Every structure is written in structure tokens, then in C-alpha cells.
Amino acid sequence: MAQPVKLLMTWDIRPGHEEDYLQFITQEFTQAMLKAGLQATDAWYTIYGPRRPEVMMGFLAPNLEMIKTFIASPAWRQIKARLLEYVDNYEQKVIPYKGGYQL
């Protein structure tokens, strides 16, 4: 049986881009991820703490093959390129889904 996996992403919002970033995340980014068949699991915003990513988001896929296919797709490249207009220090990883908060 295939194990669910989580696409876990972190980043910092570029100073001066907060309003445009928020509009993009709520109106485009999350919708594109849901349209791709991924399920939102996490959305964390850190308001205090040195050397920590400001934002962490996670999306669940039913299996590794689906997430690999998605990450290789033009749709992902396009939406990620748009995200990178608003953020710095972007990182992503795919991890086995264990439920709850994961790093």
C-alpha cells in the first residue's frame, strides 16, 4: 500500500511585498495546489524567532509518485516561480506523512 507524503515548504516574505504576497497565497497559490489534487495540511506563520523561516506550508499527496509528477509539472514550475517573486530563503522537501506537526 502506498504511503501518503507531505510536500513541506518554508520561506521568508520579502520586506515590502507582504500585501501582494498575501493576496497571491490566498487567491492563487493555495488554489493551484488544491486543483493539483493536494490537500492542505499546514500553514504556519512565525512572528518571532531568530533564524527560523517565517512561513511553513504543507500539502499532502496520497503517494510519492503523485508528488514527483506534480513537482515535475509545468503547473508547479509556474506557480513556484510566482511564489519566488514574493519570498526569499525558499526550501522544500518531501517527507513521509505521519500526521500532526512535522518539520
Residue 14: predicted pLDDT? 96
Q: Is the pLDDT of residue 15 over 70?
A: yes
Q: In whole angstroms, give the CA distance from residue 10 to residue 88.
A: 9
Average pLDDT for the chain: 92
Q: Is the pLDDT of residue 66 over 80?
A: yes
Region 47-76 average pLDDT: 91
The C-alpha angle 76, 19, 100, rounded to 5 degrees, equals 55
Residue 101: predicted pLDDT? 63
Domain count, the chain: 1
> pLDDT digits over 34-46, tens only?
999 999 999 988 8
Q: Is the dihedral of CA 64, 98, 25, 93 positive or negative?
A: negative
CATH value at residue 13: 3.30.70.100
Region 47-54 average pLDDT: 78
Give a yes or no: residue 102 inside a domain: no
Residue 96: predicted pLDDT? 94
Give a yes or no: residue 19 inside a domain: yes
Give a yes or no: residue 103 inside a domain: no
Give a yes or no: residue 101 inside a domain: no
Give SS3 for 15.
coil
Neighbours of 61 (CB within 10 A): 23
Residue ranges making up the domain that contains 57: 5-96
* 69 dihedral zone (left: phi>0; alpha: psi -120 to 50; beta): alpha
Return the percentage of the chain with pLDDT > 70, whole number: 94
